[in-house]
A and B are shown apart, each in its own frame.
Chain A
Amino acid sequence: MQKPAVRFGRACNVTTIETYTKVAHVDATRRGLLGGPPAALARDDIKRKYRREPGFPVPVLIAPATLWLLVFLVLPLVSIFVFSFWKTTGHGMAPAFTLEHYRAFLVSEGFFDPNKPEFLTPSIFIRTLWTTFRFTITVMAICLILAYPLAYFLSMQVQDFKWQLALFLLAMVPFWTSYLIRAVAWLPMLGRHGLINEFLLDIGAIDEPVSFFLYSEFSYTMALVQLYVVLAVGPIFFSLAKIDRNLLEAARDMGANSFQIFREIIFPLSLPGIAIGMIFVFVMVMGEFATAVVVYGGKTSTTGTVILSYYVIANYPFAAVNAIMLMLAMMIGVVVILRVVDIRKEL
């Protein structure tokens, strides 16, 4: 049997080998931001055999969703963009065109003054964005480490599809409980008089309650992981379930051991799922604002919190600027992830 074409990020199913090899030269000439056009394109020459265009007409299919997005996404976004240039009155905003809010975001006063302590230091808002980003990366990494074995277990070890789904849903159930309640539920566990401290005191491991468990980076990270790890499991599970078992059989026949199979076949084929899962977690944690107050005692500020604080004092333009910066950061993050893994091609 022909050795399957397996390369980092472009492993493929045995049944569609011919298709992908045809696609190869098309890819090189048509790279978009997210990689080449979908694999379906390759079937054009086959489709030409049919006189009728298969499938429902595209405009009909995309019309409702497009309209919806226009009204509820594009319009508000454009408004926010416009607002970021308006000036603030004490109690709202008025149409204008000013860059002062962007300036206030990017540089703090005294940025250009060598005598001031703020000389060349990034503004608090940039630093907040960076802190948000830092936590997000940590949470993403931990989620990946925790989610992957679980998805692997569900898709590879559990045989019956019914049980796969049941166990997966069982793990997802907490996701259906209000996230506010779940955040608050950490308090009885981690507090100075919480379960963990009481337990450690009882068994004599410590003399005094450890205050580090709550209202610290530790509790914040752990709460975030617990809240969002299930989101990462789903897409990875899906990708892994998709892998053709024949491929694994074939590799085993050719003498590969388990580790090689994992490294060469399973892991690359699951990359799209990993990417999507990571994007989900990335997006949710970057947009966070409420958990920090509950579990970290408000001792950190995320950009989401900043947006809210400026919104509360009716400084909408500045809140809009922060939002746009946050969006930019998120888009950059997502693009980076998608560059590493060309999911558009896989999709």
Chain B
Amino acid sequence: MSVVYDEAQQAIGDAARRALAAQADRQRQLAALEQVGAFDLQFHEIAARQGWLAMALPEAHGGLGLGLIEQGIVAQACGGVIAGTPLLATNAGVAQAIIAGGDAALAGRWLRRLGAGDAKGAVAFAEAEAMLPDTAATQWDGTTLTGSKQGVPAGLVADVALVWASRDGEPVLALADLAGASRTAIDSFDNGRLHADLIFAATPATALAQGEAARALALDLLARMATITAHEQTGGAEALLWIARDYALARKAFGQPIGAFQSVKHRIAELYALVEIARANCIHAASREGQPDFLLAAAAARLSAGEAYDTAARDCVQIHGGFGVTWEGGLHLHMRRARSLAIELGHALFWEDIAVDELVGGVLVGSRA
């Protein structure tokens, strides 16, 4: 199954692109790269004001009652202008976990604030190089967390974190108020993502799920966030496709536009193929929310969008020649974002394994692929 965007959904995309274009500022983005802890407040305010953080929340909690399709449309627009803190995905992930956990008190405390952008959420699953370790070193003892998480996106500003932990070797998904944790900023190659190491020392935390239920919920949340992020990656790749195309038309060498040389035009045509395949996978994944093949669909979206964005960043820079590698030219903003998004929420090898586990497990039966 897939979808064709209806008029309301197209209007959401148009509105998002308009709002983002009004605040686009390359100098501000370049400056943010050189500051640790800098936070693109303008973007965050737009996201909050436009309701982008509340889209998938139930109306009872101040949300818009929409879903992944609409979240994806907005994320794609954000990716196109390299806008966005990780909160687009992480606030959605934390909110979804709280809903799934079914604790009314937690829902009352956090959901409305997360949706309004007054509270910021981080998702701290990874430890060292592992996205979702079998047994997390971070321990939950029934009431508190102890341990550390490295390079958590949005970790620098988050008020609350969803933490992948363990208790007696069994997985636990716990929600921790970060007032009780300490954090260290990471000076990263894409500082706008607000990466930080989080250290928990008897930090009060509530379990949302335990045992196999925790693992299943963690994978479902990863699939949701990966679907949103895949849209963002596709938006970035699509922007680079057209930047490369425009440059290939404008730039002349050897007496003709460089886009007339097959080595250049075929490279751009290949980008088109990667972008369209990623876009189709993203829309498909968003339409499979809650279905048995959702994890596989999210993996396909994630893999193809990551490939599209990384390849577009490489090739677009290459087509620009020397101008592609200058600081002021700013293409490295896309290059950096392509890589940070590729790592956050699990690298390609992590998702390849998920896809293969699903496929070998028999999900493929009946598929034409």
Partners in one complex: no
